[in-house]
Amino acid sequence: MTLIATPLPLLSDNYAWVLQSAGVTAIVDPAEAAPVIAWCRQHGVTPQKILLTHHHDDHIAGVPELLAVYGCAVVGARADAHRLPALDQAVEEGDFVEVGEAVARVIDTPGHTVGHICYHFADDRVLIAADTLFTLGCGRVIEGTMAQMFASLRKLAALPGATLVCSGHEYTLDNLKFALSVEPGNEALQEQGTRYRALRAEDRPTVPSTIADELAANPFLRARDAAEFEKRRLAKNSFR
């Protein structure tokens, strides 16, 4: 294993991810530039790549400033090239992206947006899940269909259980409340809830989780079929 994935809090509840392997640094989904630049200066690194998962401003707004400072190569979905910053590497399902010695396979995961992609570093057991799969939750279906989102989640659920799930937001405690309303007797969920509450009490990230954690407790991965998934996702949209 060569890849180190570090969550970097941005805005109020976003995470960029700093990926490092063999002297190469890449930044995933920089919502803003200043904290990324500060982190890089603190750690004495220069990012060479920016990996994008989808076009929403809270995942790409920091790209122009980072390009001005570092001149990074930008990687993103070919299908969304028309609404992403200019891409140096346009990718689609099954393509590969290198960060130093680490190699990711691109997974198309439409649902949250129609052009959303994830990056799976199989040898390093790291999944850049962004806004498709959250700790105890999933992204809101905005552009795609419920069927697309369910299919995307099933792709991710099939990855090895030890795979780290690197999500794009700190939504865990809200997701926990909904998950407990769905499965109040789920012991794995209760145990995870205790752990996540303790992390947030110390202002620490709840990410990454693992695929195994999500299979045990995430109500959207535990939906038995597309109809049950849709019912749960609609219920979450209005849950308070």
CA–CA gap between residue 167 and residue 235 (Å, rounded): 21
Active site residue 108: no
Residue of 112, 116, 124, 213 marked active site = 112
Which of 29, 55, 58, 213 is catalytic? The answer is: 58
Provide the CB-side half-sphere exposure for 182 (13 A, CA): 24
Asked whether the beta carbons of 3 and 97 are under 8 A apart, the reply is no
Which of 54, 55, 116, 120 is catalytic? The answer is: 54
In the chain, the amino acid numbered 63 is: V
41-58 per-residue burial string, b: 16 or more CB within 10 A, e: under 16:
eeeeeebbbbbbbbbbeb
In whole angstroms, give the CA distance from residue 64 to residue 68.
6
Has 43 been annotated as catalytic? no
For the question of residue 112 being annotated catalytic, the response is yes
Q: Is 169 a catalytic residue?
A: yes
User: Which member of 29, 55, 169, 213 is catalytic?
Assistant: 169
C-alpha 227/C-alpha 110 separation (Å) is 17
In whole angstroms, give the CA distance from residue 105 to residue 135.
21
* Catalytic-role residue among 29, 108, 124, 131: 131
Measured CA distances, 151 to 53, 70, 225 (Å): 17, 37, 10
- 59 is a catalytic site residue: yes
Q: Is 131 a catalytic residue?
A: yes
- The residues assigned a catalytic role are 54, 56, 58-59, 112, 131, 169
